[in-house]
Structure 1
Amino acid sequence: MKRSSPHPFDVSVGQRLRAVRRLKEVSQADLGDAVGLTFQQIQKYEQGQNRISASMLFELAKALEVSMSQLLGEAAEVQNETMRLVDGAEAAALLRAFQRISSPRVRREIIHFVEAVPDIWSLE
């Protein structure tokens, strides 16, 4: 049976690939160069238009310094939701900055502040 649209699993893997790539601040061209592909092929993978072979998934994960399971989505649904949340430039930048903070106390304070921001701005 031939599909006219991408399989939902291929789309999901592609979305995770894109989210991880953006989080790591790697361009499609740079990722393609690292694994011997064009940026157009990376684009097709990210859109779920082309399936990623097991060996290519291994190479992509290695180039991005993540596990294959992170790209496949074998982890809990919470991880999938997290990947959707970080699929944006601002969210990725915020996470990168947060990772550089070594003090647990400062991290907790920042979390409390960020959680309060929607309530503060809704009052205006």
Structure 2
Amino acid sequence: MQKYEKGVNRVSAGRLFEIASVLGVPITYFFEGAEGFVEHENAQFAEDGSDAHAPVMNTETLDLIAAFQKIEDTSLRKSLLNTVRAAASAFDPKLQD
């Protein structure tokens, strides 16, 4: 935990999801008030090429995550995830199963 607190290691999206679940808060809790910072950080990664494939975590992405987390029906969540993956694969063939 100390590595995360000091910023030595980054917290992955999966780990952040687990932390949010344990704490009983939506994942967006960790991003409240950080919209401008997150967009700025991702732009910086793309400019210097250090992490050109970093996902862009903008307000729309955070809203999508928050809405998805509110869906309690497991089969509906899986169905929506499959739909989103299918739509994304139309633009990026590497995403096809």
TM-score normalised by structure 2 residue count: 0.40
Kindly name which structure, 1 or 2, has the bigger radius of gyration based on alpha carbons.
1
TM-score normalised by length of structure 1: 0.32
Q: Which protein has greater RCO, CA pairs closer than 8 Å, 6+ apart?
A: 1
